[in-house]
Amino acid sequence: MTTTTDSPAAAPRAHVDPSAVPGWPRVLARLSEQGRGVVQVDADEHRLEAEDIAAARSKAVALVRVLVAAPLGRPVRVDTEEPDGAWQVIVHPDGVVQPAEKNPSPTATRPQPVAPEPTPAATAAAEPPCAPLRPPASMKLTASPVAGLQEPSSVTAPPRLTDLIAQQPPAPPAPATWGWRHHLAALSGGLVTPGPGPREQAHRAAVAAVQRTFNDARTVVVVNPKGGAHKTTAALMLAATFGLHRGGSTLAWDNNETRGTMGWRAQQASHQRTVVDLLHALPGIAARGQARVGDIDPFVRTQPWGHFDVLASDEDAASAAAIDAAAFAQLHAQLTAFYRVTVIDTGNNIRASNWQAALAAADQLVIVSTVREDTSKTAAWLADALAETGHEQLVRQAVTVLTAPSRASDVDLEQRLRGHFARLTRSVVSVPHDPALVAGGPIDLARLSPATREAWLRAAVEVAQGL
C-alpha cells in the first residue's frame, strides 16, 4: 500500500516496530479468489463475502479494526492466508495496514515469475513492498512533509478541527473489572490497576462491535417454522443484548398472524395492549400530524432488565383479528421511525402474508434451531425453501443460532448441524443450555449463567455485522 499526497516531498506515515506488537489475540484471515473468507479471533469466527478478493481484503481489514484493534487501542498482528500464499501483517486501530516484517516474503503456493533487473529510473519509481491485505480504498494514510522543505502555500490548506480530532490518540483501555486483576486493584486501593485479561478484552471487543453505528433503522427477523425452536427466546435475548449495549431504542415484536407467546415471556407491564390495539390507533395518530415516540409508548411493554420494548401479538382468545401484509407494512413504517433496531419474532406459517412481509423487510435473517433432529431439519428445509424462492442471498448472509435443549446435548449432532449450516449461512453460533430458560416464564437476566449471556453477545455481534 502506498501513500498518496499532493506534495512530492511527503513521506509515508511511520510504522510501528513489529517486535513491539503483542501476538494476542490470535487473529487469522482466510480469503479465497471468489471473495469469500473468514476472520477468526481466537475461537470466534466471522464470515464475510464480497464481489472479489480485493473487496474481501477490505472487509477483513474493517472487521479486524472494529472487532480487535480499535477496542484494544493498539495495532494487532493478523495472519493471512490467500491462494497466492501466507503473510503476516499488522492492522492499526485506524485501519492502516503494514507488513509484520521489514521485507515480507510470502510463502507462495504457486511459482512466482522472475522479475527483470530494474533500471535506476524504475527503482526510483518503485513502490515500497506491502502485504496483499489492505484497508478499504476510503481509508488513506496521512503524509508528513520532509523536515526543512516548505510546501507552496497555494497547495497547503490550513489545518481544520477534523485534523486535530483525527490526531487524538485512542483512549487507553480501562482497568480490569473481571477476575483476579479486578480484585488486585480493589485490594491495593487503586494503587495497582492491571489491564483486562484476554477474556475481558474479547468481551469488550464484542460489546464495541454491537455498538457500531448503523446508517438507518435496522430490522432483524428470527425464523423457524416449527414451534419450540426457541424463536421467541432468541428474539428476546437479541433485543436485550442490543438494548443493554446500545442504550435502548430497541424493539422486540411478536409478528404472529394471530397469537404468539412473547407477551407471556416478557416482564408484565401496567397494560395488556397489543399490536392489534396499535394497528387500530394508527389512523388517529396520523390524524394528529407528525407522530411522537409518546404515541407508541402506551402500546409497548418496557423491559427494564434489557433496555428494550416488547410489542405483543393479540392475546384475546375471542378475537378474530389477524395481522396481514398490509397491516405489517403500516406498523413497520411507524415503528422503524422510533426504533433503531427491531427484532421480529415470526410465526410458524411461512405462507402467511405477514410472515412474507417480515421476510421482505429483513436486513438480517436469523435461523434458530435447537440441537434436535426434528427442529434442525425444519430449519434446513426452510433454508432450502427460501433459496428456491429467490432469497438465496438472504440465506447466505443469515446467522444460524443453535441452542442446546438440555445439559446432555448431542455433541455429534451439534457438530453435524454446525457443518451443515456453516455451508448454508454466514455464521453459526452455539448457545448452551440454561435451566433459567426451561420453565418458559418471563426471562430474568440475573438468573442466566455468564456463559449464556456471552453466547448471546456473540450472536448479537454476528447479527450486527450484517446490519
Contact between 87 and 108 under an 8 Å Cβ cutoff? The reply is: no
Look up cell 512466482; give the residue.
Answer: 112
User: Around Cβ 447, how many Cβ atoms within 10 Å?
Assistant: 11
What pLDDT does residue 125 have?
A: 40
Contact between 367 and 226 under an 8 Å Cβ cutoff? The reply is: no
Look up cell 407491564; give the residue.
Answer: 269
In 3D, which of 133, 145, 48 has the Cα closest to residue 97?
A: 133
Within 206-340, strands assigned E span 218-223, 250-255, 301-303, 308-311
Q: Strands 301-303, 218-223: parallel, antiparallel or unpaired by DSSP? A: unpaired
pLDDT greater than 80 at residue 150: no
What pLDDT does residue 84 have?
A: 81
Contact between 272 and 234 under an 8 Å Cβ cutoff? The reply is: no
**Model pLDDT for residues 319-371, shown as the tens digit of each residue:** 656 789 999 999 999 999 999 999 999 999 999 999 999 999 999 999 999 99
What pLDDT does residue 372 have?
A: 94
Beta bridge partners of 39: 29, 46
Higher pLDDT, 102 or 331: 331
- Averaged pLDDT score across all residues of the chain: 82
**Model pLDDT for residues 251-283, shown as the tens digit of each residue:** 999 998 777 889 888 888 888 899 999 999 998
Least confident of 313-322, 333-342, 457-466: 313-322
CA atoms of 358 and 446, how far apart (whole Å): 31
**Was domain 209-465 assigned CATH 3.40.50.170?**
no
Q: With bands split at pLDDT 50, 70 and 90, how would you rate the model's confidence at 166?
A: confident
CA atoms of 75 and 96, how far apart (whole Å): 9
CA atoms of 282 and 298, how far apart (whole Å): 12
Longest distance between any two alpha carbons in the chain, whole Å: 88
Q: With bands split at pLDDT 50, 70 and 90, how would you rate the model's confidence at 421?
A: very high
CA atoms of 77 and 70, how far apart (whole Å): 13
What pLDDT does residue 317 have?
A: 67
User: Around Cβ 169, how many Cβ atoms within 10 Å?
Assistant: 7
List CB contacts of 67: < 8 A, sequence separation 6 or more.
39, 41, 46, 205, 206, 208, 209, 461
In 3D, which of 13, 20, 208 has the Cα closest to residue 98?
A: 13
What pLDDT does residue 267 have?
A: 87
pLDDT greater than 70 at residue 108: no
Percent of the chain whose pLDDT exceeds 70: 84
Q: Start-end ranges of CATH 3.40.50.300 in the chain?
A: 209-465
In 3D, which of 117, 123, 139, 133 has the Cα closest to residue 79?
A: 133
CA atoms of 398 and 234, how far apart (whole Å): 14
Task: Round the CA-based radius of gyration of the chain to a whole number and report it.
Answer: 26
In 3D, which of 55, 26, 54, 33 has the Cα closest to residue 109?
A: 33
One-letter amino acid of 460: A
Percent of the chain whose pLDDT exceeds 90: 43
